[in-house]
Copies of this chain bind each other. A is one copy, B any other.
Amino acid sequence: MITIALDAMGGDHGVGVTVPAALQTLKHQPALKLILVGQREAVETELRRHHAAASDQFTVHHASEIVGMDEPPAQALRNKKDSSMRVAINLVKEGAAQAAVSAGNTGALMATGRFVLKTLPGIDRPAIITTLPTMHDHVHVLDLGANVDCTPEQLLQFAIMGSILVSALEGKTRPRVGLLNVGEEDIKGNEIVKKTHELLRSSCLNYAGFVEGDEIYTGDLDVIVCDGFVGNIMLKTSEGLARMITHFIKQEFKRNLLTKLSALVALPVLHAFKKRVDPRRYNGATFIGLNGTVIKSHGGADAFAFEHAILEALAEVKNNVPERIGRELAAMAEKGVVA
């Protein structure tokens, strides 16, 4: 039995999304238990709305406070000790749950995760890693915004963690790791990237060298490493561009009666396409490098997307991701590979 604590109040829609997502997930996961953490009355009202009968698959755990989506992380950490986010992470710390999932304030969730769970030995700072679709399959990219400035040593740690995560989740023995840069030649890039390139080359990882932005989506790599500044801009640019392209396709099909009719004909194809790039299927970013599993859902996630974030948490717990990272880092430290 695996237990996951959900921050039921987090995200743009709170219980309106987290509760139905939880109930939906449980339908297909008989060996999963969920703890819905949040204001008891709000959670129970929503459960009643879905006619959810008491079950040994879920419990409600009261937490009186909510962290605002725009609340400064330090303030949330200091003043909201009984927030749904904090209590969900506390449950992981205490061993009452094996993972926490939240759609709440990213900065506050990261600060709380670091404060409560601490980073793994050998890891300076946790990173945010997520999956993106590619031409052939998908790729894992980190960091997506936890660390705006990174040292080469930290980027090496990210590469190691990303590589272990892919091994654990997908059974690949030697995941291909690339370093995001502005060119593929050794002389390209800033000093940090060049230094990291050297560290990765002499590491035990299956390092494929520098990759440029357009190689993110080709599917030739398993893990792509960058600092959180670049990673966040890359991710959000991709979201914005995908939105614009979808908008243009819709506009063109809505242009006149004839195009509207052709839209009807093309509908099944357009749906198949939409499903394929549906960002909801990739929802759920991991705060990697913590002593425990914390998954961040997109704040605007709907129940379908939030369910995917829960399933990501489940997969990582089943495959002991943090334990494997801790163990392999310890082994590397013994060999003198990392500090």
Q: Is the CB of B252 within 8 A of A240?
A: no
Q: Convert A213-240 into 0s and 1s, putting 1 for each residue whose CB lies closer than 8 angstroms to a CB of B.
A: 1111110000000101110111111111
Q: Which of A53-61, A166-174, A259-267 faces chain B? A: A259-267
A249 part of interface (Cβ distance < 8 Å) = yes
Q: Convert A249-289 into 0s and 1s, putting 1 for each residue whose CB lies closer than 8 angstroms to a CB of B.
A: 10011010011011101101110110011000000000000
In this complex, what residue of B is CB-closest to A182? Answer: B232
A229 and B179 CA atoms in complex are apart in Å by 13
Q: Is the CB of B135 within 8 A of A182?
A: no
Q: Is the CB of B135 within 8 A of A229?
A: no
A299 and B243 CA atoms in complex are apart in Å by 28
Q: Which single member of B190, B217, B245, B276 contacts A229 (CB below 8 Å)?
A: B190
Size bracket of the A interface:
35 or more
In this complex, what residue of B is CB-closest to A271? Answer: B252
Question: Chain B residues near A242 (CB, 8 Å)?
Answer: 241, 245
Question: Chain B residues near A268 (CB, 8 Å)?
Answer: 258-259, 262
A187 and B74 CA atoms in complex are apart in Å by 12
* Known interface pairs A238-B241, A277-B245; A228-B182 also in contact (CB < 8 Å): yes
Question: Chain B residues near A272 (CB, 8 Å)?
Answer: 252, 255
* Known interface pairs A189-B229, A229-B182; A263-B269 also in contact (CB < 8 Å): yes
Q: Is the CB of B214 within 8 A of A243?
A: yes
Q: Which single member of B148, B191, B226, B269 contacts A189 (CB below 8 Å)?
A: B148
Question: Chain B residues near A245 (CB, 8 Å)?
Answer: 242, 245, 277
**Chain A residues in contact with chain B, CB under 8 A?**
70, 72, 133-135, 145, 148-149, 180-182, 185, 187-191, 193, 212-218, 226, 228-230, 232-245, 247-249, 252-253, 255, 258-259, 261-263, 265-266, 268-270, 272-273, 276-277
Nearest first, the 4 A-B pairs at minimum CB distance are: A213-B236, A214-B240, A213-B237, A266-B266
Can you pick out 12 interface pairs between chain A and chain B where the beta carbons lie within 8 Å of each other? A180-B233, A190-B229, A213-B232, A213-B235, A216-B237, A217-B240, A238-B241, A242-B245, A248-B273, A252-B273, A262-B265, A262-B269
